[in-house]
Structure 1
């Protein structure tokens, strides 16, 4: 039975991918990898008021969090996540926890997924990983999580993911509908629960 859902922050919930790309270009000559990462974070935070949720992200989070804990995961530092939670309370209010990375300790996305599982204290097969990167999805599968792709509208995921058993939701609305149907099938919500009513806001 699904007991929790973990979601990517950048690109899945927040329209931030282009800003991070610009930040890394701007910071490329600032020193070693850690210094570049810190400089890029400063660059993004100086422009954080330009960031917005991905269309449909807020409705997705609210729909899922009404039934199971939602964990947001990011390899960005805690100070970045803290600013976003202040700027977008409607998006983050239903979130149970945010797990952040520590670039200085070379934490990788798979390390982040392990931390999420440790923090939840749940078996990996009971956790859905809703992610927008191929590497992250494959890492989640490696750990036994139930991976589901949700690409950024301008950056589709490769079709080959289906060949390794990773389904892809083309939109946030599709992801919400699919997860709620899974909740009903697996007994998270009652079999007679009406899907349409729940999704009015999605």
Structure 2
């Protein structure tokens, strides 16, 4: 029996990865850093402290990690206030799932951005946790384990909906049943995708019936 469903946000509910890339790439260029070809892929799933340290330590941004994080997050919030890039069927899918099971959110976004998205969705999300509150971001299992604990369910009876390599690895490492909804622009690695019990082309395919069959 499925007891709960936990969603990632970036790349699953909102088409935010291009926005994150544009904003962070701009901050790196503005403050003396060098963006590398694999930077965006490496950043996906990192917690706020982790990616702020990476931008300053590895890419050469001359701001402090705290200043880097604050600058990026404020620019992301401005972009979200102008336009929230919800993915097709995201709100309807989450509402349909929430009618059947408790749902949670395990996201690498800062809490302020999670709150902005959830307010726009108007979905009954029982628990939402950001990796910024964790010592380790994805691919570590910490955030999923925290959400599952707060929901009061067991990982092996909980479904995770993810898109990125690090997100898929995080959910699998936590012992959840993994559903992958890959983004064409940022495809997950084959080994990460192999850990998914179900691979979908979009959230419209994540029906309550499809979730129930995962049991």
Comparing 134-143 with 32-41, greater Cα deviation is found at 32-41
Give a deviation string over 1:145-178, Cα, whole Å, max 9, x none: 10110122543444555644543111112222xx
Alignment of 1:23-102 (within 5 A): 23-28=23-28, 29=61, 31-48=63-80, 49-86=82-119, 88=120, 91-102=121-132
CA drift of 1:73 comes to 1.8
2:145 corresponds, among 114, 135, 160, to 114
Given the two structures, how large is their TM-score scaled by the length of structure 1?
A: 0.78
Give a deviation string over 1:26-47, Cα, whole Å, max 9, x none: 2233523343222111111111
Separation (CA, whole Å) in 2 of partners of 1:140 and 1:175: 17
> How has the CA–CA distance of structure 1 residues 167 and 184 changed in structure 2, closer, same or farther, with 3 Å as cutoff?
closer
Separation (CA, whole Å) in 1 of partners of 2:184 and 2:125: 23
**Are the counterparts in 1 of residues 156 and 175 from structure 2 also a CA contact under 8 Å?**
yes
CA drift of 1:136 comes to 1.5
- Name structure 1 gaps, 5 residues minimum: 187-202
> Considering only aligned residues, what root-mean-square deviation do their CA atoms show, in Å?
2.3
Given the two structures, how large is their TM-score scaled by the length of structure 2?
A: 0.74
- Name structure 2 gaps, 5 residues minimum: 29-60
2:198 corresponds, among 167, 172, 177, to 167
**Are the counterparts in 1 of residues 168 and 193 from structure 2 also a CA contact under 8 Å?**
no
> How has the CA–CA distance of structure 1 residues 163 and 184 changed in structure 2, closer, same or farther, with 3 Å as cutoff?
closer
Number of residue pairs matched by the alignment? 180
Separation (CA, whole Å) in 2 of partners of 1:34 and 1:2: 40
Comparing 148-157 with 137-146, greater Cα deviation is found at 148-157
